[in-house]
């Protein structure tokens, strides 16, 4: 069954069932930006294939959505609690998680694993294979939950600004596909699960510190989402949030490691500078919007050129701290050195791409290059410590 959506409802075959639906039938209203849309009945659920005007569609409990937008079509709606909101809790979680790109955990995960291995290797008598595997598994679970919590808080805190920014207007909370209440419920659920996972280090390793520090960690990594309102140093706060990864993982496996291994602190410092540097690059695309809304960022304050130079300085500092971490830890040898040198080359490449291609090169400079930086460094460090 197919029908054309005009400016006054659905026209064509099957239009009557939709256009005649009223509030008593569970009808919902969506605003679409394109001139014409086509609705198609697939497995009992309406799919929006493209278009504009006003769409009236009946809620279909089996389909899960009132009207499900095809990926890539901007369908902002009002209300959030209704509109295009999924009807099932799992559908809501999937929609929320799809908006924060779990694959981007690659930026922090390798550093957490490296910090865990560095700390575990120094445990007197060593950890048994079973305990080590369980602990590493818990680190991974905690990392995913913590990042999901932090990103959901970020999306919720910024949903008003995101709705006004053409670049971010399609995000699920900004568009109203999920309401704030639904989002906070999912975020709090992730936070509770994080605390529970952190608490498991106590029975597994006899270490209560992860449980004691779980809530402060959640507060720390959520703070960044609000810093853009009052300081251009928001990029440094983001770096500090990700820098907690190797330190928190080290505490989870061997709290004494923080007092014994200077390399852990140098590595965390490297993460602060590295992340702050590439976040400044990312902020270039919102320079004018941030200025118009009074939001703080280095590019908004210093301009694009000034922001790029600050980013270069931060990445130079990150490389210096990384060299320092390699130099002070005797477990790091030629494998880690190769990783350090490769990371230095990648940081130079990142800025070369930006200089040559400008904003057109942001995806490669921000996501691809920095993802490789994290994976290379984490892998080389872990191999060097264990071999």
Q: pLDDT digit string (tens) for 185-212?
A: 999 999 999 999 999 999 999 999 999 9
Residues 97-386, CATH architecture: Orthogonal Bundle (1.10)
- Displacement of CA 208 from its chain's centroid (Å): 28
Q: What pLDDT is recorded for position 58? A: 40
- Residues pairing with 189 in the sheet: none
* Average per-residue pLDDT for the chain: 81
Query: CA–CA separation, 84 vs 175, rounded Å?
Result: 9
> Which is it for strands 68-69 and 9-11: parallel, antiparallel or unpaired?
unpaired
Q: What percent of the chain has pLDDT over 90?
A: 64
- Residues pairing with 42 in the sheet: 45
Mean pLDDT along residues 10-17 = 37
Q: What pLDDT is recorded for position 206? A: 93
Query: CA–CA separation, 123 vs 279, rounded Å?
Result: 35
Q: What pLDDT is recorded for position 79? A: 41
pLDDT band (50, 70, 90) for residue 262: very high
> Which is it for strands 37-42 and 45-48: parallel, antiparallel or unpaired?
antiparallel
pLDDT of residue 31 exceeding 50: no
177 contacts 95 by C-beta, under 8 angstroms = yes
pLDDT (tens digit per residue) in 52-105: 333 334 444 443 444 444 334 344 444 444 344 566 888 888 888 888 877 777
Q: What pLDDT is recorded for position 86? A: 63
pTM over 0.75: yes
pLDDT band (50, 70, 90) for residue 122: confident
pLDDT of residue 236 exceeding 90: yes
Q: What pLDDT is recorded for position 45? A: 37
Can you read off the two tokens belonging to residue 22? 């009223």
Q: What pLDDT is recorded for position 36? A: 36
Nearest to 178 by CA among 57, 65, 26: 65
110 vs 121, residue with greater confidence: 110
**In sequence order, what are the residues at sequence separation of 6 or more whose Cβ sits closer than 8 angstroms to the Cβ of residue 285?**
167, 359, 362
DSSP codes of every residue in 345-364: HHHHHHHHHHHHHGGGGHII
Q: What pLDDT is recorded for position 14? A: 38
Domain with CATH 1.10.357.140 in the chain: 97-386
Half-sphere exposure of 199 (CA within 13 A, CB side): 7
Q: What pLDDT is recorded for position 258? A: 95
């Amino acid at each position: 069954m197919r029908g054309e959506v005009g400016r006054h409802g659905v026209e064509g075959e099957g239009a009557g069932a939709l256009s005649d639906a009223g509030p008593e039938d569970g009808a919902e209203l969506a605003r679409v930006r394109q001139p014409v849309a086509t609705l198609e009945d697939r497995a009992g659920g309406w799919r929006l294939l493209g278009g504009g005007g006003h769409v009236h569609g009946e809620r279909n409990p089996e389909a899960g959505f009132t009207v499900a937008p095809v990926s890539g079509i901007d369908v902002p709606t009002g209300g959030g609690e209704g509109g295009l909101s999924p009807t099932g809790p799992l559908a809501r979680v999937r929609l929320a998680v799809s908006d924060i790109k779990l694959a981007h955990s690659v930026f922090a995960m390798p550093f957490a694993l490296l910090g865990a291995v560095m700390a575990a290797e120094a445990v007197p008598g060593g950890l048994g294979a079973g305990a080590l595997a369980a602990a590493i598994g818990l680190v991974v679970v905690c990392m995913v939950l913590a990042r999901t919590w932090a990103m959901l808080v970020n999306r919720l805190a910024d949903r008003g600004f995101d709705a006004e920014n053409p670049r971010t207007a399609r995000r699920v909370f900004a568009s109203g596909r999920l309401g704030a209440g639904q989002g906070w419920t999912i975020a709090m659920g992730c936070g509770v699960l994080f605390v529970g996972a952190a608490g498991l280090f106590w029975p597994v390793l006899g270490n209560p510190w992860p449980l004691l520090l779980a809530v402060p960690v959640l507060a720390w990594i959520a703070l960044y989402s609000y810093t853009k309102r009052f300081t251009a140093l928001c990029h440094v706060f983001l770096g500090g949030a990700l820098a907690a990864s190797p330190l928190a993982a080290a505490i989870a496996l061997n709290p004494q490691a923080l007092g014994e291994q200077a390399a852990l602190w140098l590595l965390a410092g490297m993460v602060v500078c590295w992340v702050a540097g590439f976040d400044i690059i990312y902020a270039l695309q919102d320079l004018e919007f941030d200025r118009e809304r009074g939001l703080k960022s280095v590019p908004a304050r210093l301009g694009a050129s000034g922001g790029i130079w600050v980013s270069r300085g931060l990445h130079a500092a990150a490389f210096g701290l990384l060299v320092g971490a390699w130099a002070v830890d005797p477990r790091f040898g030629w494998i880690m050195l190769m990783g350090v040198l490769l990371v230095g080359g990648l940081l130079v490449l990142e800025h070369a791409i930006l200089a040559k291609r400008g904003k057109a090169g942001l995806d490669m400079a921000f996501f691809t290059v920095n993802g490789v930086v994290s994976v290379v460094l984490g892998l080389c460090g872990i191999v060097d410590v264990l071999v």
